[in-house]
Amino acid sequence: MFLAELSLEEKQAFLELATLVARIDGNLSIFENSILNRYQREMKLENYNIKGLGIEEILSMFKNERSKYIVLAELFQLIYSDGVFHEHESKSVHLIKTHFGFDANEFGSFKDWIDKIKELSGAPIDR
C-alpha cells in the first residue's frame, strides 16, 4: 500500500524482512506467498533475489519514522494473512518494535488498524 514511498535500499530491506518473517514459523503459507509476490510487484522488485540478511542488519536500513511505520504496517498485513499470529512472529514483531523505538500503545494501535483494513478487504481475522 505504501511501499512505493520507500527508497530502493529500504524496499530491498523490506523484502528481506518480509521474507524472513513469513518463513519464521517454518511454514510459508499460500497467503503469505501471495502477499510476498504482491510486495515484489508493488515495489517493482520482481527479479530481486533474497540474500538472507540478518534481522539486525535489515532493520538498520530504515532511518526515518515514516519508513518504520510503513514497514510495521505492511508486516502486520503479512503476519495476519494466514489468520494466525504465531509465537515466533510475535517475538519478531517485538524485536522490530523495540529496534524502531515504538511503545506498546503504538503496537496495539497498529494491530487494531490492520484488523480494520482486513475487515474492509474481507480477509479472515484471527480473534
**pTM for the full predicted model:** 0.80
Write down the pLDDT at residue 127. 40
| Mean residue pLDDT across the chain | 82
Number of Cβ atoms within 10 Å of the Cβ of 28: 14
Write down the pLDDT at residue 108. 64
Write down the pLDDT at residue 115. 65
Write down the pLDDT at residue 116. 64
Q: How confident is the model at residue 47 (pLDDT cuts 50, 70, 90)?
A: very high
15: closest CA among 27, 31, 26, 42?
A: 42
Residue 68: all three cell numbers together: 518504520
pLDDT above 70 coverage of the chain, percent: 77
